[in-house]
């Protein structure tokens, strides 16, 4: 269905948990977050019903995110349930990859079409400090297992943090030479923890593009400008939510772990879906789609979400 501004809304992102085994410095508070009561979190059945209702309104693409979606019990059942609603739904997961290796094949068999794996550094020590304790090798094992399980076009999401991992840009680009990996460099957004970060930590899309002088612009893929270096198998995409407004073509809505529909990532506007079923659920989703804001303005207090990124899912 279309929103009030004529945008066709086809993409639903489900944040299936706000919990995570990492505490990335720009995403989660060091102390973690207060665990919500079991009853306040949507069950796997409730998520399934939301997908069924959203599908009846024209949603055709679903992405599971979090927190870390792979810490959520029942996530594989949810994948199977979603594919049972319509096997043509494009189902993706965004994960930190650390828990992927043992279940990559199971996810593939459950119908997951695409995996985006977040990886901000190729250096063990920097990895440990960005994630506050994570082990790089776990994620590398996850990437290998995903390739072996038959996931094609793996995307690697990298948030560039000036002075922390920007020196590795060329190392990341080199990864695309011999492997069909699709890098996505993402501008840091002032949300959650990063809302209070100094401006000099934020790298612009233009400064990232400066490293791609020999690259060829291949496509505009949704919100990414996609480049390839001559002779490289993979691609390099740049996603610049701070530099470019995606609002006119935004086709997404989001649901938080506690069942709030967020028509816009950056707005505090939320519609409670918890406890709703059948027609009432479809009606609430349709209301949320219609009410999707026309655009957002970063940095304005009146136009910025109070939630942390691990609750919304990126
Ligand atoms: N835990 C999973 C992961 O890390 O992929 C899924 C959830 S995480 C919130 C989704 C994506 O959001 C990750 O790629 C992460 O790097 C990104 N992210 C978190 N905070 C961000 C911020 N302030 N600006 C830009 N991206 C952010
Ligand atoms: Fe966890 Fe992902 Fe946030 Fe890192 S970015 S703390 S892995 S939710």
**Which mutation among 14, 29, 68 tests ligand 2's pocket best, with the greatest number of atoms within 8 A of CB?**
68
Residue 2 domain-assigned?
no
Burial of 159 (0-12, 13-18, 19+ CB in 10 A): buried
Residue 123 domain-assigned?
yes
**CB-ligand 1 contact for 191 (6 Å cutoff):** yes
Where residue 79 falls (left for φ over 0; alpha for ψ -120 to 50; beta otherwise) is alpha
**CB-ligand 2 contact for 28 (6 Å cutoff):** yes
Distance 23 CA to ligand 2 centre (A): 6
Please provide the average confidence, as pLDDT, over all residues in the chain: 93
Q: What are phi and psi of 105, to 5 degrees?
A: -65, -40
Residue 74 domain-assigned?
yes
How many whole angstroms separate alpha carbon 38 and alpha carbon 160? 35
Residue 3 domain-assigned?
no
Count of structural domains, the chain: 1
**Which mutation among 32, 72, 314 tests ligand 1's pocket best, with the greatest number of atoms within 8 A of CB?**
314
**Residues 23, 128 contacting (CB under 8 angstroms):** no
Range scoring the smallest mean pLDDT among 35-39, 59-63, 221-225, 241-245: 241-245
Distance 96 CA to ligand 2 centre (A): 7
Residue 46 domain-assigned?
yes
Q: What is the mean pLDDT of residues 26-39?
A: 91
What is the per-residue pLDDT for 302?
Answer: 46
**CB-ligand 1 contact for 157 (6 Å cutoff):** yes
Question: What are 273's two structure tokens?
Answer: 């879906």
Residue 1 domain-assigned?
no
The distance in angstroms from the start CA to the end CA of the chain is: 23
User: Any idea what the CATH number is for the domain that residue 112 is in?
Assistant: 3.20.20.70
pLDDT tens for 151-191 read 998 999 999 999 999 999 999 999 999 999 999 999 999 98
**CB-ligand 2 contact for 312 (6 Å cutoff):** no
Ligand in closest contact with the CA of 28: 2
What is the per-residue pLDDT for 213?
Answer: 84
**Residues 137, 177 contacting (CB under 8 angstroms):** no
How many whole angstroms separate alpha carbon 310 and alpha carbon 307? 8
Ligand 2: residue whose CA is nearest its atom 4: 24
Residue 194 domain-assigned?
yes
**CB-ligand 1 contact for 130 (6 Å cutoff):** no
Distance 19 CA to ligand 2 centre (A): 9
Distance 212 CA to ligand 2 centre (A): 27
Atom of ligand 2 nearest to the CA of 313: 8
Q: What is the mean pLDDT of residues 46-59?
A: 98
- DSSP per residue over the chain, as a string? -B-TTS-B--EEEEE--S--S---TTTS-TT--PPPPGGGSPPHHHHHHHHHHHHHTT--EEEEESS-GGGSTTHHHHHHHHHHH-TTSEEEEEE-STTTGGGHHHHHHTT--EEEEE---S-HHHHHHHHTS--HHHHHHHHHHHHHTT--S-EEEEEEBTTTTGGGHHHHHHHHHHS--EEEEEE--S-GGGGGS-GGGBPPHHHHHGGGTT-EEEEEETTEEEEE-TT-SSEEEEE-TTTS--GGG--EEEE-TTSEEESSTT----EE-TT--HHHHHHHHHHHHHT--S---TT-GGGS--S-HHHH--
Given a cut of 70, whether residue 46 has pLDDT beyond it is yes
**CB-ligand 1 contact for 159 (6 Å cutoff):** yes
pLDDT tens for 197-245 read 999 999 999 999 998 888 999 998 878 899 999 999 999 999 988 887 7
Looking at the chain, how many residues does it have?
314
How far is CA 275 from its chain centroid? 26
Ligand 1: residue whose CA is nearest its atom 1: 68
**CB-ligand 2 contact for 72 (6 Å cutoff):** no
**CB-ligand 1 contact for 68 (6 Å cutoff):** yes
- Residues of the domain holding 114: 11-311
Residue 41 domain-assigned?
yes
């Amino acid at each position: 269905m279309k929103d009030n501004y004529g945008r066709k809304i086809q993409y639903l992102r489900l944040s299936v948990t706000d919990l995570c085994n990492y505490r990335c410095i720009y995403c989660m508070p060091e102390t973690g977050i207060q665990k919500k009561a079991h009853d306040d979190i949507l069950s796997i059945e409730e998520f399934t019903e939301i997908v069924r209702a959203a599908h009846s309104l024209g949603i055709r693409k679903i992405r599971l995110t979090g927190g870390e979606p792979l810490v959520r019990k029942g996530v594989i059942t949810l994948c199977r349930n979603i594919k049972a609603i319509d096997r043509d739904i494009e189902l993706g997961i965004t994960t930190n990859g650390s828990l992927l290796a043992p279940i990559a094949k199971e996810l593939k068999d459950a119908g997951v079409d695409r995996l985006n794996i977040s990886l901000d550094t190729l250096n063990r020590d920097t990895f440990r400090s960005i994630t506050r304790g994570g082990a790089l090798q776990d994620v590398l094992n996850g990437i290998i297992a995903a390739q072996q399980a038959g996931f094609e076009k793996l995307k690697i999401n990298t948030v560039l943090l000036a002075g922390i991992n920007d020196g590795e840009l060329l190392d990341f680009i080199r990864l695309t030479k011999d492997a069909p990996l699709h890098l996505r460099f993402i501008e840091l957004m002032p949300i959650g923890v990063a809302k209070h970060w100094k401006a000099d930590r934020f790298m612009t899309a233009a400064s990232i593009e400066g490293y791609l002088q020999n690259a060829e612009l291949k496509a505009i893929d949704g919100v990414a400008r996609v480049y390839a270096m001559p002779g490289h198998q993979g691609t390099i995409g740049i996603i610049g939510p701070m530099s470019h407004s995606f609002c006119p073509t935004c086709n997404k809505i989001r649901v938080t772990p506690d069942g709030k529909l967020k028509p816009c990532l950056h707005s505090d506007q939320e519609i409670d879906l918890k406890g709703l079923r059948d027609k009432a659920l479809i009606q609430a989703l349709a209301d949320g789609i219609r009410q999707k804001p026309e655009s957002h303005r970063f940095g304005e207090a009146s136009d910025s979400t109070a939630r942390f990124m691990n609750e919304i899912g990126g």
